[in-house]
Amino acid sequence: MTTDLRFPAADARELVRTALAEDLGPDGLDVTTLATIPADQEATGQVVARAPGVVAGIPVITEVVTQVAALIGSDAPTVRTLVADGTAVVRGDVLAEITGPIRVILIAERTLLNIMSRLSGVATHTRLWADQLEGTGAMVLDTRKTTPGMRHLEKYAVRAGGGTNKRMGLYDCAMIKDNHKLAAGSVSAAYQAIRSTFPDVDIQVEVTTVAEALEAYAVGARFIMCDNMSVPLLAKTVAALRVKDEAVEIEATGGLTLEVAREYALTGVNYLSVGGLTHSSPILDVALDLAN
């Protein structure tokens, strides 16, 4: 599990490069800005929150303006950040100021806002879950249901919002689900196959009944995912596992909503995993205004 708030700069650099190529086309042109704004005209632009929420993606601002400046052969604007990622803001709060060539600021505008709005939306949504779980001892986890090409950035935004990352991909943790059990023949067979092939990898097992949870524990699993269980069934499963081992990690997953989050957390699970943190978060409205 990961809560480290280091910004994934390399992923941001690659995403910005792709986004600018989409926006500027094969010849690297903003035909409106290049035709109407003199190369030496300068101004200050403010990145402003248009709604309350939690900010994520502030370092993207510098990355975008730096890449744009290089593309059009201009000096890069200076960026003064006024809030840090993870900060709760309200409508009208200024997040950063960008001072320098207007051409660069306007060409960079949509790319930096698209990325910041998306990441801040994920952070804002995550904070709602984190607040709902406060005091229960449970943490909210994300999943692999991320936007292709944005996984590390979206998972960073989850951390900025107070959530925790589960596995990053298929490579860093084994997760035995129904299809793996069917293909291998049983929970035990799937677990032993992974343990013999990849002896050092962590293994998580998805279960739907108390009996299946106890079977998974018996073969060696110490991270049990309880999928689509009712609150009473989850509480029964947690109790049965805790009798075996107080330290076993237990996750509730499948169909969870904010309205029932706390009820599920109070069963004694360690985690609630929520795919919606990254696949269904609405954006946080962020704008860029040139100062008069």
Among residues 13, 110, 144, 262, the one annotated as catalytic is: 110
Among residues 177, 195, 222, 236, the one annotated as catalytic is: 177
The residue assigned the tokens 């936007």 is 147
Q: Is 227 one of the annotated active-site residues of the chain? A: yes
Q: Is 145 one of the annotated active-site residues of the chain? A: yes
- The three-state secondary structure class of 164 is strand
Q: How far apart are the first and last CA of the chain?
A: 47
Among residues 30, 109, 154, 206, the one annotated as catalytic is: 206
Q: Is 206 one of the annotated active-site residues of the chain? A: yes
Q: Is 155 one of the annotated active-site residues of the chain? A: no
CB 273 within 8 A of CB 116: no
Q: In what order do the strands lie in the sheet with 94-101?
A: 78-81, 94-101, 42-49, 286-290
Among residues 42, 227, 249, 285, the one annotated as catalytic is: 227
CB 54 within 8 A of CB 61: no
Structure-block tokens of residue 134? 């406060």
> How far is the C-alpha of 179 from the C-alpha of 9, rounded, in Å?
36
Q: Is 181 one of the annotated active-site residues of the chain? A: no
**Phi, psi values for residue 175, rounded to 5°:** -130, 110
> How far is the C-alpha of 139 from the C-alpha of 239, rounded, in Å?
19
Q: What is the CA radius of gyration of the chain?
A: 23
Residue type, 270: N
The catalytic residue positions are 110, 145, 177, 206, 227
